[in-house]
Amino acid sequence: MLIAGNWKLNCNINEAIDLSSSILNNLNSKVLRSEVALFPPTIYIETVYNVIKNSNIALGAQDCSVNISGAYTGDVSAPMLNDFGCKFSIVGHSERRNGKNESNKDVYLKAKNLMDFKMIPIICVGENAEDRERGNALDVIKKQLEESIPKSNNEFIIAYEPIWAIGSGKIPTLDSINEMFNMIRQWLTNNSMKNNIKILYGGSVNKGNAKELFSCKDLGGLLIGGVSLNPTEFSEICIIAS
């Protein structure tokens, strides 16, 4: 299992140090069966790296460029993230797909770049409320899988994050998460991909609903937003996962 904390656009430098130090203090004496990874804003990756290096906590980025190098002002590429100790990077988060108009093709290129530089992309997929209400959720996710995931033997992770569940306090029923995970697993099998690829759930995860979510049959971990900024609650979820 992987418990991933996506800090999004939060923290100043001192808060980034405090948050990562508190999580480290809570977890470093524990024998964790789950992997824990922190995803700070890009500018604080090195800061957090210096706190958690040589620990049982891994580091990831929230996004990477579709390009490797060149005239792309403001971008940060996969090899640059690799230089700073990132094991993972999130790609295709709905806040970028929608907020920054990123296409499935962009997500595919980002994931491929990360794989080429031996990092593990966490490829996000998720339907909006309208698609869910119209009964189109499975088809929408299938299209995102088809177009965003490089057909590759390299390691990657899928994060299912229904857009309507992010930051809303609502989570899908366990039946509908299981139904979605079954479809994703079947899609992976049909495309001859490894059967140990993790499928994470994300969207309004907290300590209260984490126990219930852990009963999902094929759950490979959690991608946590808001609660990852609370070191006590985030650490408790990491411990429950173990």
Q: Which residues are catalytic?
A: 93, 161
Nearer to ligand 13P, 28 or 167 (CB): 167
Beta-bridged to residue 223, according to DSSP, are 4, 202
Task: Show the site string, 196-215: x = touches ligand 13P by CB under 6 A, - = not.
Answer: ------xxxx----------
What is the rounded radius of gyration, in angstroms, for the C-alpha atoms of the chain?
17
Q: How far apart, in whole angstroms, are the C-alpha atoms of residue 145 and residue 108?
A: 9
Q: Which of 225, 230, 233, 241 binds ligand 13P (CB under 6 A)?
A: 225
Residue 53 is a binding residue for ligand 13P (CB under 6 A): no
Strand, coil or helix: 150:
coil
Nearer to ligand 13P, 79 or 214 (CB): 214
Residue 6 is a binding residue for ligand 13P (CB under 6 A): yes
Residue 167 is a binding residue for ligand 13P (CB under 6 A): yes
Nearer to ligand 13P, 127 or 161 (CB): 161
Task: Show the site string, 71-110: x = touches ligand 13P by CB under 6 A, - = not.
Answer: ----------------------x-----------------
Nearer to ligand 13P, 172 or 203 (CB): 203
- Tokens 């339907």 belong to residue: 127
Question: CB neighbours of 22 closer than 8 A, spacing ≥ 6?
Answer: 231, 232, 235
For the chain, how are helix, strand and coil distributed in percent, rounded to 5? 45, 15, 40
Strand, coil or helix: 224:
strand
| The pair of three-digit structure tokens given for residue 39, joined into one six-digit string | 């995803």
Interacting residues toward ligand 13P by CB under 6 A: 6, 93, 161, 166-167, 202-205, 223-227
